[in-house]
Amino acid sequence: MKRIGLSILILLAFLACKNNSKTEKSIKYPSDVIPFMDKWKILLGDGTRSDSLVNFQKDDFFYVESYEDTNWVVYKTPNSGITSKTSSNTRTELGEKKHWIPEEGGKLTGTLKVQHVSTTGDARVSSSYSVVVGQIHSDEGHENEPLKIFYKKFPGHNKGSVFWNYEINTEGDNSGRWDYSTAVWGYDFSVVGESSMSYPEEPKEGIALGEEFSYEVNVHKGIMYLTFASEGHETIKFAKNLLKSDFSTKADIPEQVLNVYSSRRSVSPEREIAYAGEIQYFKQGAYNQANGKSTKSEIYNGDIAKQYANGSYAEVWFKEATVGESTVPNQ
């Protein structure tokens, strides 16, 4: 009887180990954690592209990390690498395969935490020390961006800011385009340092590195509904019409925009129909806003290993995300 009992214990232990091994093996790819990867393509910070993300990963850029019994999809990208032809900013970022117009709409959600942003840059430049974690991007016309969701943290601060930018869709020459920024927790895009190495006061209601927050972007019948939530913070909601401009005359251009842009270039009004009828798609991940040009962030001659070792990178972890059809807004 003792031998039978011992045999049963050994068998149970073997099965337990086998099951644990199976569980560990099954959580290997980002698509094992967030199963919507078949709906996306990706560009990584070293220039790698892939249109097939099921069972795809790449060390140091797009992979799975486990922390306190939770699996996370990691998006990591240096300050300097290989990026798209139209941008100086590297990204490890998903691009939605499906395209849609605002009248049709779509919905994107994400629950994430930003683990790192560049620790170097010019504090007077709005995009220094920041990363974009979600976007709506146009795929025609001027290819402007009706939505960019930012996280930004100044060096030495414990808390950073979450804000979103709306880029106007200009008519004719696009040289006068600009972003209007709205704070969620902390500051908006326009709050900068007085000199290259001076910083504003730390935001009182900000979000720390490693602190979870979530967003929902629901474009329904041409209206963009945004919801931001984080434990211990007030849930914040916004609505923005993508079919009719709020900025169609020079008198409509906000003071914030004039303060940020007018000293270095002209600013133009937006076309009256904004993004109506224009093809759009979602993006999600880590779109690093620090670079060696406009933000003067350290790039170590483009050496990615040195950038990672010395804080010149952005790193964002997602544990949940969805993409699909729009829904009737609960606002």
Q: How confident is the model at residue 16 (pLDDT cuts 50, 70, 90)?
A: low
pTM (2 d.p.): 0.92
Q: How confident is the model at residue 21 (pLDDT cuts 50, 70, 90)?
A: very low
What is the per-residue pLDDT for 34?
98
Domains of the chain are 28-324 (2.60.120.200)
157 token code pair: 């601060």
Average pLDDT over all residues of the chain: 93
- Tell me what the mean pLDDT of segment 31-52 comes to: 98
What is the per-residue pLDDT for 15?
53
Whether 284 and 85 have beta carbons less than 8 Å apart is answered as: no
What is the per-residue pLDDT for 306?
98
The region, left, alpha or beta by phi > 0 then psi within -120 to 50, assigned to residue 232 is left
- Tell me what the mean pLDDT of segment 230-259 comes to: 97
Which residues lie below 8 Å from residue 294, measured CB to CB, with a gap of 6+? 88, 125, 127
Task: Write out pLDDT tens, residues 97-108.
Answer: 999 999 999 999
Q: Has residue 41 got a pLDDT over 80?
A: yes
Cα–Cα dist 154/325, whole Å:
36
What is the per-residue pLDDT for 25?
53
264 token code pair: 């270095």
- Tell me what the mean pLDDT of segment 20-35 comes to: 76
Pick from 184, 81, 113, 129: which is nearest to 295 by CA? 129
What is the per-residue pLDDT for 88?
84
Pick from 147, 238, 163: which is nearest to 205 by CA? 163
